[in-house]
Structure 1
């Protein structure tokens, strides 16, 4: 059995890393931090924000509600306050469905390229 590198998850992410994950400006990350109570970054002695993986997951949730579903900030805040668990579950289902769709599209492209090679 070949050796597999264990996946190392970081304990903290900088604001730049989080902004890069979502392809947004750092100013939007700071703004969402102020607007949503579920984001609570740690700050080092210099005042730099350090986000936990839980914070990153919450950013995923906020990004999904605001950028993908087109909700207003007030609407997203209200939804997270009233139905946090349902919102998280719905987000997880949507994420899994997207990954399945991507996998199926890759399989389709692979099969199409094999068929073209045979012809």
Structure 2
């Protein structure tokens, strides 16, 4: 399960370290570097030292890539092509899934509080 903060929290900072982003996705930093090479929509900023800093937009794109690769089981090439042809549709689907997941968590919490 991805643990990326909600947009209102995510967009409070301009940049996030690769270590922090990797924790949110429960993946190794090397995988994020690999995805950066494979997907042109990922363009983290690099410090003089070479450390990667991800903008909130990069994190949103990572969510989309993660969704396509890990949940929809696309190949790298398939995900790359899907993003090229259907980026807006994929963004919408991702937002819908996030909203439904939050709503489900709310309902489960409400159910637990009712003692049902």
Q: TM-score range, shorter-chain basis?
A: 0.7 to 0.9
Counterpart in 2 of 1:37? 40
TM-score (norm 1): 0.85
> What is the aligned partner in structure 1 of residue 22 from structure 2?
19
| TM-score under structure 2 length normalisation | 0.88
| C-alpha distance in 1 between matches for 2:73 and 2:104 | 22
- Residue 93 of structure 1 corresponds to 96
Report the aligned-residue RMSD.
1.5
Quote the offset at 1:43 in angstroms: 0.8
**Runs (5+) with no aligned partner, structure 2:** 1-7
The 1-side partners of 2:27 and 2:35 are apart by 11
- State how far apart, in whole Å, the 2-side matches of 1:109 and 1:34 are: 44
* Distance in 2 separating the partners of 1:73 and 1:109: 40
Following superposition, the deviation at residue 66 of structure 1 comes to 0.7
Say which is worse superposed, 25-34 or 8-17, in terms of deviation: 8-17
Mapped pair 1:69 → 2:72: yes
Runs ≥4 in structure 1, deviation > 4 angstroms? none
Larger Rg: 1
Shift, 1:42, TM fit:
0.8
Partner of 2:112: 109
